Amino acid sequence: MSLKTASEYIESLRALNTRVYLFGEKVDNWVDHPMIRPSINCAAMTYALAQDPQYAELMTVKSSLTGRTVNRFTHLHQSTEDLINKVKMQRLLGQKTASCFQRCVGMDAFNAVFSTTFEIDEAHGTGYHQNFKNFLTMVQDNDLMVDGAMTDPKGDRSKAPHEQADPDVFVHVVERRKDGIVVCGAKCHQTGAVNSHWHIFMPTIAMGEADRDWAVSFACPTDAEGVSLIYGRQSSDTRKLEGCAIDTGNAKFGGQEALVVLDHVFIPSEYIFMNGEYEFAGMMVERFAGYHRQSYGGCKVGVGDVVIGAAALAAEYNGVEKASAVKDKLIEMTHLNETLYCCGIACSSQGVPTRAGNYQIDLLLANVCKQNVTRFPYEIVRLAEDIAGGLMVTMPSQKDFDSDTVVGKNGETVGDLCAKYFKGREGVSTEDRQRVMRFLENICLGSAAVGYRTESMHGAGSPQAQRIMIARQGNIQGKKQFAKDVAGIKD
């Protein structure tokens, strides 16, 4: 089997012995937990759309390893067309879920680890590249969801891994055996970790010789002995426990992050992709970051499409859709959103083959893409809040709208009064207005903000990380020479 259905994906999670902790307690049936299930539904859309013939070109592709049809989320990019289709696929899923569908980090890790292991083997005569190809073939054939785990807790940011008071703040090797390694540490902010079948662990920074034990990359099942996942809280997340679907804003879909803890986990040799080759840690980090910064030119744009649509609906329901100021705000939101998309397409179209054979995006343009993502969604959200108005954050709960408690002299209930006083234009139900306001609240301020607004800032690296890469890739010396040549300046 190479393509799972959405239901098969969800059922495959039930078969795992994943150890999930939430609110200080172990969650036995985490698949159906109301705070977790929306994120599973979101990931399931990557499987559902792959089964839909109208999206086959975007969602599926022939594997470069086996020739079999696979989900694009498990694919090694073979051309600039592949890179472009990746961005288009991510925009589509953002439009369908208005949230983070969590499978991008694994795809980006596949491509970074594939090319880096090839070059490690060239330099050291190791067998990591074949290890990885065997692993990815298994992932493709079983259509598995894999978490790309890069971000370590880091401890004291002024110190290298080997200088830390607690060595576990970076994932590291604590024992080397003939048949594998034993690792300890943690990865934080892990998108889709609970919903994944496997994880790929990678270094999080460039390293020196003294950090050899921390220069490690490997694959590990989510339910391996010694792996624990502590679910991350999101703003307004307990609304999902209240049984009021409208109040959640996006009742069906959501994102997910977790702290992934490794407590003396054994990794067999066949799943090791780096083991002390510290001089290649920076390469793996840089390549993964580039792919993931490209991703934001797709997924955030798709969610942005939904935000713009919701803001336009709010204007319509408020009866102000024809106001020139509202039209101008929607134009600006569209301009910003499409600019992000342009960056995602541009860095893809300028991609080049790696020595391993898969395609890598233009690193400079990918970092420009993500730098814009750290800014533009904030303005898009600000304009959406401006258009929606204050009701977005002051509206009574769904229970008030449903209440039959009598409060009026003529027998009006709490629900009657809410329906009366929060109605907008004629022909639009109060409930529809209520729904769009709650949806915008969720995107702008609630749990979905983790997958849109806040994640736009820190996901795939903070803004300064992109600025460092832009400085490295910007070729200032070459630009100075252009100026000298045109101005007639001789060295």
Of the candidates 74, 116, 151, 191, the residue annotated as catalytic is 191
Q: How many CB atoms lie within 10 A of CB 428?
A: 16
> What residues pair up with 230 in beta bridges, in sequence order?
21, 259
CA distances from 448 to 198, 257, 304, 387 (A): 25, 12, 12, 19
Of the candidates 100, 343, 347, 444, the residue annotated as catalytic is 100
Of the candidates 292, 317, 343, 369, the residue annotated as catalytic is 292
Q: How many CB atoms lie within 10 A of CB 320?
A: 16
Q: Is 277 designated active site?
A: no
**Look-up: residue for tokens 């576990």?**
168
Q: Cβ neighbours of residue 240 under 8 Å, at least 6 residues apart? A: 34, 35, 38, 248, 251, 254, 447
Q: Which two tokens stand for residue 421?
A: 């006083």
Of the candidates 188, 220, 299, 347, the residue annotated as catalytic is 299
> What residues pair up with 146 in beta bridges, in sequence order?
198
In a 3-state reduction of DSSP, which class is residue 172?
strand
Of the candidates 18, 80, 117, 257, the residue annotated as catalytic is 257
Q: What is the phi/psi pair of residue 290, to 5°?
A: -60, -45
Q: Are 441 and 391 in contact (CB under 8 A)?
A: no
**Dihedral, CA of residue 147, residue 149, residue 151 and residue 154, to nearest 10:** 140
CA distances from 386 to 236, 329, 418 (A): 21, 9, 23
162: exposed, middle or buried (C-beta count within 10 Å: 0-12, 13-18, 19+)? middle
Q: Is 184 designated active site?
A: no
Q: Is 104 designated active site?
A: yes
Q: Is 292 designated active site?
A: yes
Q: Is 296 designated active site?
A: yes
Q: Is 257 designated active site?
A: yes
Of the candidates 296, 317, 341, 452, the residue annotated as catalytic is 296
Q: Is 42 designated active site?
A: no
Question: Considering just the CA atoms, what is the radius of gyration of the chain in Å?
Answer: 24
Task: Give the separation between CA 297 and CA 292, rounded to whole angstroms.
Answer: 9
Of the candidates 18, 80, 104, 126, the residue annotated as catalytic is 104
Q: Is 342 designated active site?
A: no
What residues are annotated to the active site? Answer: 100, 104, 191, 257, 292, 296, 299, 455
